[in-house]
Chains A and B, each alone.
Chain A
Amino acid sequence: MTARAPLAALTAPLALLALWQLAALSGVFPTQVLVPPADVAETLWSLARSGELERHIGESLFRLGLGYLIGAVAGLAFGACIALSRLAEAALAPAFLAVWQVPVIAFVPVLVIFLGIDEPFKIAIVALATFFPVALATFDGIRGVPKAWFEVARVYRTRIPDLILRILVPATVPAVLTGMRVALTRSWVVLVAAELLAADSGIGQMMEMGRQMFRIDVVLAGVVVSGVIGFALDRGAKAIEHRATRWKYA
C-alpha cells in the first residue's frame, strides 16, 4: 500500500458525489427520481436531530439483538447436540438439512400466518436466519476436532470438565465464531427485508414509508444507514473473531 492509495480511494466516491450533485442540480431529473446528496445529508441530519432516526435504529437493533440471541443459543445447542450424539445426528440431521434447503426469506409468509406481522414475527425470522449458520458451524467445528487430541487427553487422564474447557471449546471457537459472524450479517439482511414488508418502525419501514411517499431523500438516507450498520456489524464481529482466535497466529 502506498501513501497515495487512500487518496486515490477517495477520488472515485468524491467524484461520484460531485457528479451526482451536478446531475441533480441540472434539473434533468425530477426530484422524485434524483435528489442531490446534500439534501440526503440534510434529511439524515434532521431525522437524527428529531430523534426519529434514533428510534428506528433502536427498534431494528433491539429486534436484531433479541432474535440473534435466541437463534445463536438454539443453534449452538442444536449443533453441539447433533455433533456429540450419533443418535441425535441420525434422528435430526436429515430433517435439518432438508429445511436448510429453503431460503430463510421463504419462511416469511408462513411466519406471518402463524405470528402475525408484529414484533414476534420479526424476532422469529431473525432467530431463524441466525439458527442455521450457527448450528452448522458448531457441528462442523466439533466434528473437526482431531481424534488424536482426545487420545492425548485420555493418555493424560484429563477430567471431563477440563476436556471440555481446555480442548473442546478452544478447538471449536474459531469455526463457531465464523458461523456467528455470517449469521449476524445474514440476519441483518433478513430483518431489513421483514421490516420492508410489515412494520411500524425500524430502518426497513423508514425506507418503505419513504418510497410510498416518494421521498427519495428518506429512502437514500435509509440505504446509507442500513449500509453503515451492516458494515459496522460485520467489522465488529470480525474484530471479536480476530481477538478470540489470536492464539492461532501467535
Chain B
Amino acid sequence: MKQVLARPAARFAIGFVVPLLFLAWWQWQASSGGARALTFAPLQSIGAALVELVADGALARDMFATVSRSLAGLAIGGSLGIAMGVSMAIWRPLDRVLGPLLHAIRQVPLIGWLPLFGLWFGTGQGTELIVVCLSAFFPAMLNSYEGVAHVEQRYLDVGRLYGFTPFQRFRLLLLPAAMPLILTGLTQALAFAWIASIATEILLGAGSGLGVTMQLAQTQQRLDVILVAIIATALLGFAINTLFQRLRRHLLRWQAAPL
C-alpha cells in the first residue's frame, strides 16, 4: 500500500474514488423513483443546466457581476481600510478616538448589518455593494495598522540618522516595511469581499450574480442550476485567489525570504 501511495499518479487516481462514488450514489438517488428523487437532480440535468446557462450567456453574466462586485468592494473598502489603518498607526490620537468605535462595529456579524442597511438604503444593489465594501474594509485596516505600527525600531533609527523628512520616512521606510502585511490584508479583504458578494446576493437577490441565480433557483426547486452556480463559485474563487497570490509574490519579490 505504501508503495502505491508513493506514486503521484496513484494518489491522484485515489482522490477520484470518493467523488465518483458520491456521484454514483447521487445518480442512483435521482433515478430510483423514490419520494426524494425529485430533490436529487440527475447528472444529465445538471449537465443540461450547465449547457443552457452557458449558451444563453446567463452564467457569464452572473460570473461577471459577482466578480466585478467583489473587485469594486475590494477597491473601495480596501483602499479606505488601508488609508484608515495607516493614518491610525501614524497619528495615535486618531487611533485612540476612532479605534474603539471601529472595533465595536467590527464585532457585529457583517450580515447583521443587512436589515439596517436595507432600511436605510433599500434592498437593491447599492446595499449589496456597501456590505461588500465594509467586509473588505476591516481586514485591510487591521493589517495595515499592524504593518505600520510595528516597523522595526532600527529602521526608524537609520531614518533619523539620515535626517529624513516625515514624507521621506513614510515613503522610504514605513510603506515598504508595512507592504507585506498590507498585501496580506488585501488578500484577506478579497476573500471576505468574495464571500460577502455571494452572501448579499443570496439574501437580497438584487441585480444579477451567482448568488442571485442560486437564490432564484432555490425558490424554483432547480437544484441543477444551484449546483452549476456553486461549481462556478468554487472555480472562480480558486482562480481569483491563485491570481492574487501570484501578484502578491510578484510585488514582494524584493524580499529575501518569500513569505
Contacts and interface: CB of A to CB of B under 8 A. Distances in A.
Contacts of B218: 109, 112-113
Given A114-B39, A227-B108, A9 B115 contact: no
Contacts of B120: 33
A109 B226 contact: yes
Contacts of B111: 189, 192-193, 196, 204
Contacts of B237: 101-103
B112 A222 contact: yes
Interface string A215-238: 010011011001110110010000
A93 B19 CA distance: 11
A12 B98 contact: yes
A161 interface: no
B165 interface: no
A114 B30 CA distance: 13
Contacts of B217: 109
Nearest to B101: A12
B230 to A, nearest CB: 5
Contact of A230 (B17, B22, B108, B198): B108
A214 interface: yes
Contacts of B211: 106
Contacts of A234: 107
A13 B104 contact: yes
Interface stretch (A46-54, A73-81, A84-92, A133-141): A84-92
Given A91-B14, A103-B198, A227-B105, 10 more contacts: A32-B119, A103-B195, A113-B221, A193-B199, A207-B116, A208-B115, A211-B118, A219-B116, A223-B113, A230-B107
Contacts, number: 150
A102 B107 contact: no
Contact of B5 (A11, A90, A114): A90
B18 A9 contact: no
A8 B96 contact: yes
Given A91-B18, A192-B112, A226-B108, A102 B234 contact: yes
A130 to B, nearest CB: 15
B194 interface: yes
B96 A216 contact: no
Contact of B112 (A91, A112, A223): A223
A197 interface: yes
**Among A107, A223, A230, residue most surrounded by chain B Cβ atoms (within 10 Å):** A223
Contacts of A28: none
A12 B107 contact: no
A33 B114 CA distance: 14
Interface of A: 5, 8-13, 16, 32-33, 86-87, 90-95, 98-99, 101-103, 105-110, 112-114, 188-189, 192-193, 196-197, 204, 207-208, 210-211, 214, 216, 219-220, 222-223, 226-228, 230-231, 234
B14 A95 contact: no
Given A33-B119, A227-B112, A106 B100 contact: no
B116 A87 contact: no
Contacts of B104: 13, 227
Interface size on B, as a range, is 35 or more
A91 B15 contact: yes
B115 A207 contact: yes
A9 B99 contact: yes
Interface string B215-259: 101100101001101100111011000000000000000000000
A214 B202 CA distance: 22
B33 interface: no
B17 A196 contact: no
A232 B256 CA distance: 41
B161 interface: no
Given A105-B202, A110-B230, A8 B119 contact: no
Question: Ordered nearest first, which 4 A-B pairs have the shortest CB separation?
Answer: A94-B15, A109-B218, A227-B108, A211-B115
A113 B223 contact: yes
Nearest to A191: B109
A94 B110 CA distance: 30
B39 A113 contact: yes
